[in-house]
Every structure is written in C-alpha cells, then in structure tokens.
Amino acid sequence: MSYTPTEMMTIAAARAIRNDDVCFVGIGMPSAACNLARLTHAPGVTLIYESGTIGTKPDVLPLSIGDGELCDTSVTTVSVPEMFRYWLQGGRISVGFLGAAQLDKFGNINTTVVGGDYHNPKVRLPGGGGAPEIATSCGEIFIVMKQTNRGFVENIDFITSLGHGKTGKEREELGVKTKGPSRLTTDLCIFETDPATKEFIVTSIHPGVTREQIQENTGWTVRFADQVIETPEPTAIELDALRALNERTAKAHAGK
C-alpha cells in the first residue's frame, strides 16, 4: 500500500505506545499517534489530556484540550490542579507524548520564542502550557515532529521544556529523577537517546529515506547507531485505522 511521510511518521510514533501505558497526550501529532495506538495494538492504553480528562476515547481528534469530545468520552474528568499535583507530579503517568517548534539533540523543547531575545523575538509561539511539567514528571517522554533544519537546531532559542539540558547532564544535576526524552519520531527516521551522552541517535530509517536526507534536514551533526534498521512499512490495518480517524475528524470539524 502507498502512504505519505506523515502517515509513516504517525504510525511509527504510535507503535511506541504500550497497552499498559498511562499516557499524557499533547494536541496535534501526539494526539493522532496516541489515538491510533488505542485503535490498533494498544486498546488498553489510558489517555490523559491536560484539561483533566482521564481514560478518554475520542472518536475524532480534538481541536484543543478543551474539546468536549475528550470529556464526553472519558472515564472521569478531574480538576486541572488535581491532574497536575496528584496524577502527574505524583508519578502516576508513564509516558508524556509531546511535539515541538524547535528541538535540539538533547531533547530540549522550545515552544516559546524563535529568533531575537525573549522580549523582542521574530516569532512568539503559544508557550509551554503544561509541557514543562509533563517533560519532568512523566516516566519518559516521546516526541513526534516533522524533520526540518528550522525545527532541528544546534541551539534552541528558549528552553520551554527540559530534555537533558545543554550538555546532556543537567537533568541529572538538577535532581530530576524521570527518564526524560527517550524516543523521537520524524517523517524521515526514528531517534533514540544514547544512554551515555543523552543525545539523540538514529536507530531506524524509514523506507526510501537516505542518511544524507536526514543530515540535510538536521541542524546538528547526526549520529547513527552501530546497527540501524529500516522502519517496517505501515500495515493495512494501521493505515485503514489512521485514515478512518482522519476522515471522521475532518467531517466533524468541517467549517470550524
């Protein structure tokens, strides 16, 4: 079956979710990946959104954390303070699934400002929301985003959400006990965190993609694992489930 790079990215990201995960889900691509996992190989996953919805099973992808679809299909909805203090900071969430505007090789995320300084940036972004707390309090962090030189940079303009710091050592030095970014899925490949240096290294390349393409779309010098595999192509079941989800979503949000 033919598929797009975005479909490959979403499906590859979804495969990282385990059936027994409790997952804090970001809006956008992370939401698509997590719900695809729920609809395919991980029906038992518990999806949690920042608005306080627990065990939600949306039929369509939400426009925002305030989308009524999340509350309507959840097991329960708690207050935002309870969500963060009891569930997140209490260590009850195994995976945080996030996106980014800018990312560096140590998994630090910028969703605040790009270019210039904080007070006079070229672009001011939406900000962190709950992502800074998610990045430090979930058991581990998965990231999904399209790979470009603009997004994958040597030095991000602002650290909104902590990865492993500017040298790979700051997370531990700050006393943060959680694992941090462990997996990054793009439309070209999959990166995983080197246990020693804490920087992302390529462990799997999507079909038809070259190492040269990966480097051309990355602002730092890419490291490749000693053994790099080819990412398995999407199955018919995965593609059918993703396309049906996107079709339902498009119809539900038409005109909004």
pLDDT in tens, 78-130: 999 999 999 999 999 999 999 999 999 999 999 999 998 899 999 999 888 89
What type of residue is 186? T
User: Is residue 5 pLDDT above 90, yes or no?
Assistant: yes
Q: Which 3-state string (H, E, C) describes the chain?
A: CCCCHHHHHHHHHHCCCCCCCEEEECCCHHHHHHHHHHHCCCCCCEEECCCCEECCCCCCCCCCCCCHHHHHCCCEECCHHHHHHHHHCCCCCCEEEECCCEECCCCCEECCEEEECCCCEEEECCCCCCHHHHHHHCCEEEEECCCCCCCECCCCCCCCECCCCCCCCHHHHCCCCCCCEEEEECCCEEEEECCCCCCEEEEEECCCCCHHHHHHCCCCCCCEEEEEEECCCCCHHHHHHHHHHHHHHHHHCCCC
Cβ–Cβ contacts within 10 Å for residue 116, how many? 12
What does the alpha-carbon distance between residue 243 and residue 231 come to, in Å, rounded to a whole number? 20
- Average confidence (pLDDT) over 163-177: 95
Domain residue spans of the chain: 5-252
Query: What pLDDT, on the 0 to 100 scale, is given for residue 237?
Result: 98
User: Is residue 74 pLDDT above 90, yes or no?
Assistant: yes
CA distances to 8, 15, 192, 194, 232 from 2, rounded to whole Å, are 10, 19, 26, 32, 13
Choice among 50, 69, 133, 199 that is catalytic: 50
Percent of the chain with pLDDT over 90: 94
Query: What pLDDT, on the 0 to 100 scale, is given for residue 256?
Result: 61
State yes or no: is 50 an active-site residue.
Answer: yes
What does the alpha-carbon distance between residue 159 and residue 180 come to, in Å, rounded to a whole number? 14
pLDDT digit string (tens) for 19-49?
999 999 999 999 999 999 999 999 999 999 9
User: Is residue 59 pLDDT above 80, yes or no?
Assistant: yes
CATH superfamily to which 5-252 belongs: Glutaconate Coenzyme A-transferase (3.40.1080.10)
- What is the pTM assigned to this prediction? 0.95
Query: What pLDDT, on the 0 to 100 scale, is given for residue 254?
Result: 87
Query: What pLDDT, on the 0 to 100 scale, is given for residue 157?
Result: 94
